[in-house]
Amino acid sequence: MTRRLLLTASALLAHLAFAQGTEGPSAGPAAAATADSDAPEAKDGKVLLTKYLTAVKAKKWAEAKKLLHPKTLESIAERKKRMGKEDHPMAPWFHEKINYWLKDFKVGAASLGALGTVMIEVTEDNFQVADKGVAEGENSAYLLGKKDGKWFVVDKKQGAVFTKDSVKIGYKGWFDKAEEAAP
């Protein structure tokens, strides 16, 4: 009986180990791209993200919101309606009061993602409200995409990355039709 239980537990643990994906706290943004893309979309994405992060750092919320994807703004509004607060990764105006705010950033590598998107790695220095100190070098990944011919900042993951599959599944219908590159 004990042997049978051990075999079952071993099989379950092995299955869980193989089921682990590339997303999560242990997968740093470097996993998103092997090299910085020199595609025009990646360069445009870096310019837009720099503009967005500069507005966030300066706490110019109206300017930052203009650069957010319309569906991202809808998601933030839906969370506020459902939960009573704008607790969303793309609502820095909410987080600056209770969690953290952006002190500095460095835009890193960009890679082309699914559905014509661009995924960009960023290293951020964030002031932690509760700790009253700066957490330096926090890794984040941003997703950018085109809607109605215009680029927007779509989403953010802290300590994790976007994968092509997660973009295909999680953001279906968010972007202009784009030709898919070969895998």
Contact by Cβ (8 Å): 64, 52: yes
Q: For residue 9, is pLDDT > 60?
A: no
pTM: predicted TM-score of the whole model, two decimal places: 0.75
CB atoms within 10 A of CB 94: 18
Q: Is the pLDDT of residue 113 over 60?
A: yes
pLDDT tens digits along 128-167: 877 888 888 899 999 999 999 999 999 999 999 999 999 9
% residues pLDDT > 70 (the chain): 78
For the chain, list the domains and their CATH numbers. Answer: 36-170 (3.10.450.100)
Q: Exposure of 42 by Cβ count < 10 A (0-12 exposed, 13-18 middle, 19+ buried)?
A: buried
